[in-house]
Amino acid sequence: MIILLSLLSCLLGLFLVVSVYYNFKFAKIIFRVEDSIESSLDVLDQGYRSISDILERPVFFDSLEVRQVITDITKVRNSILQVAEKLTSIDEKIENDDQGEEN
């Protein structure tokens, strides 16, 4: 009886270790996504400020300001795409896991 309880305790301990491992693994993924979103939001904020400053000045077609706005818009667009790709890949993984459990 004592041997059986000892084996069950060891088995539960093993399950606990596996559970803690996956908890940390998923927490790291969540933190990476959060950091990615925060850095992308910082890029968006900088682009917005730059565009707002330039919009206050008179702009000519072939001026440095126009090229700078185009560069900022490109950075903002790339940042939005990066966030969307990361969020989409996480969402696809969740959907694939859900479909695998249903089958």
Q: What is the rounded distance in angstroms from the CA atom of residue 81 to the CA atom of residue 44?
A: 12
Give CA–CA dist 84/90, Å, rounded.
10
Question: Per residue in 20-60, pLDDT tens?
Answer: 999 999 999 988 888 887 787 777 777 777 767 766 666 66
pTM value > 0.75: no
Sorted by where each begins, the domain ranges of the chain are 25-102
Give Cα separations from 6 to 11, 53, 74 (angstroms): 9, 70, 62
Cα separation of 100 and 103, whole Å? 5
Q: Is 79 exposed, middle or buried (0-12, 13-18, 19+ CB in 10 A)?
A: buried
Flag whether pLDDT at 74 surpasses 90. no
Give percent of the chain with pLDDT exceeding 90: 23
> What is the widest separation between alpha-carbon atoms in the chain?
88
Mean pLDDT along residues 65-80: 79
